[in-house]
Amino acid sequence: MTPSFPPLREELRGIEPYGAPQLSLEQAPVQLNVNENPYGPSAEAAADIARAVGEAAVSLNRYPDREFVELRARLAAYLCSSGGAGITPDMVWAANGSNEVMLQLLQAFGGPGRVALSFAPTYSMYPEYARDTHTTWETGHRAEDFSLDLDAARRLVEDRRPAVVLLPSPNNPTGTALPPEAVAMLCEAAASYEPGGIVVVDEAYGEFRRAGTPSALELLGEHRNLVVTRTMSKAFALAGARLGYLAADPAICDAIRVVRLPYHLSAVTQATALAALRHATELLGRVDDLRVERDATVVWLREQGLDVAESDANFVLFGRFADRHAVWQGLLDRGVLIRETGPDGWLRVSVGTGDEMAAFRQALTDVIKEQG
Ligand SMILES: *Cc1c(COP(=O)(O)O)cnc(C)c1O
């Protein structure tokens, strides 16, 4: 018998790597599929980042600061100005994207015999962190309008006793934000058994939330098992730099240090993130425009007679289509790339520039007319 090659772990065989199609700008001039900020850094910010990276380059023979002390201090200051209060550098941890931060959380707090729990529809990477850390993956379900039934959610946590609860807020792919009561209740539920679970509120889209929607950062002082993750990939317009971070009790940050790879944040990454944080106001400067564009997109889609989920993020989930793939393909044929994701029949569009959204509206109008 010939052994199979490569000798991959049984449960990984035949699995497609995660990722939306990455097409060139020639293939798809309007790219509204991975929730990026469509506005790049200004020439001034880009020059400052280049200067900082240039300075770091001089000592690239040395390993970077393993504890990234300066970056943690700057991120803590940013969080204090963005919905958090009293967040200190020892409450902050960072890695190469918040995906890596959450994988590290599962490495430290998940594992064989432990459960990670979320509520579907939810972010499609979570089950992969669970798989890769041999953590049992379980999901409850969201209501018809994608909100959480709090009593049912609490009962599920008390019953399944997860080591990690993963709550994206605003949720991807639906855009739904969680009320603080929900987060507080689930933190209490996850603290009610031994050894207890951590509750991770993934605020990758936190900066896009609508006025009056609080951040879970406000609850950090009250729940020591609460972790709030953020990223520079979305509102911060820095997806290419790969920098995600969390705020939590210092004991949680300390625990992650056991599983992180040595020097996981390169000197180049640290220099880039620090320079970007100096330009935070400017990099985040288009967030308000994107929120206006998002709200207008929701209104327009509803005017077309479509179902549209309320959104606190920089994307909108809409449907329902008997053949969503045909609609997705029809848009792509017209140069507009969106995402075929979410429950059956729904599609997700990221919020782009005014011109990009006009192209999206025109293309969707044509596709709906054509497909009747
Ligand atoms: C985009 C996204 C992230 C951020 O990923 P990075 O690794 O920081 O780029 C995290 N969570 C959700 C739900 C997302 O959609």
- Looking up residue 331, the CATH number of its domain turns out to be 3.90.1150.10
Structure tokens at 114: 């432990």
Q: Which residues line ligand 1 (CB under 6 A)?
A: 35, 97-99, 123, 168, 172, 202, 204, 231, 233-234, 239, 244
Is the residue at 1 inside a domain? no
| Final residue of a structural domain among 240, 258, 278 | 278
Give 180-220 as a DSSP string: HHHHHHHHHHHTSSSS--EEEEE-TTGGGPPTT---GGGGT
369 CA → ligand 1 middle, Å: 34
Whether residue 268 sits in one domain with residue 336: no
pTM over cut 0.85: yes
Q: In this prediction, what percent of the chain has a pLDDT beyond 90?
A: 93
Distance, in Å, from the CA atom of 7 to the CA atom of 104, rounded to the nearest integer, reads: 25
276 C-alpha to center of ligand 1: Å?
18
At 157-203, the pLDDT tens digits run: 999 999 999 999 999 999 999 999 999 999 999 999 999 999 999 99
Are residues 66 and 137 both part of a single domain? Answer: yes
Our count of domains for the chain comes to: 2
As a whole number, mean pLDDT of residues 363-369 equals 97
Pocket test of ligand 1: the residue of 106, 209, 233, 272 to mutate, having most ligand atoms within 8 Å of its CB, is: 233
- Interatomic CA distance for residues 298 and 23, integer angstroms: 26
Q: Has residue 82 been placed in a domain?
A: yes
Same domain? 76 vs 224: yes
How much distance in Å is there from the Cα of 261 to the middle of ligand 1? 20
Residue 323, CA atoms < 13 Å, CB-side half-sphere: 9
Scored b (16 or more CB within 10 A) or e, 37-57 reads bbbebeeebeebbeebbeebe
Residues 261 and 300 both lie in one domain: no
pLDDT of 242 above 80: yes
Domain limits for position 273: 44-278
83/192 same-domain check: yes
**Is residue 30's pLDDT more than 70?**
yes
What does the pLDDT look like over 267-302, one tens digit per residue?
Answer: 999 999 999 999 999 999 999 999 999 999 999 999
Look at the block and give the residue holding tokens 């990276």: 53
Closest C-alpha residue for ligand 1 atom 14: 204
Q: Are residues 106 and 181 in the same domain?
A: yes
pLDDT band of 19, cuts 50, 70, 90 = confident
Q: In this structure, what is the dihedral angle of CA atoms 251, 254, 258, 264, given to the nearest 10 degrees?
A: 140
Q: Mutate which of 104, 146, 202 to test ligand 1's pocket (most atoms within 8 Å of Cβ)?
A: 202
pLDDT above 80 (res 372): no
Residues 274 and 308 in one domain: no
Tell me what pLDDT residue 1 has.
66
Could you tell me which residues are beta bridge partners of residue 24?
A: none
Q: Are 267 and 64 in contact (CB under 8 A)?
A: yes
Domain CATH for 146: 3.40.640.10
Residue 18 pLDDT class (50, 70, 90 cuts): confident
Which atom of ligand 1 has the smallest separation from the CA of 231?
8
Residue type at 232 in one-letter notation: M
Q: Is position 156 within any domain?
A: yes
What does the pLDDT look like over 47-86, one tens digit per residue?
A: 999 999 999 999 999 999 999 999 999 999 999 988 888 9
Q: What residue has token string 């970077």?
A: 64
CB 260 within 8 A of CB 253: no
Rounded distance between C-alpha atoms, residue 32 and residue 315, angstroms: 9
Question: How far is ligand 1, taken at its centre, from the CA of residue 231, in Å?
Answer: 7
Mean pLDDT of 320-340: 97
Band (pLDDT 50/70/90 cuts) for residue 4 is confident
**CA-based R_g, the chain, Å:** 21
Provide the 8-state DSSP code for 265. S
Whole-number Å distance, alpha carbon 238 to ligand 1 midpoint, is 12
pLDDT confidence of residue 345: 97
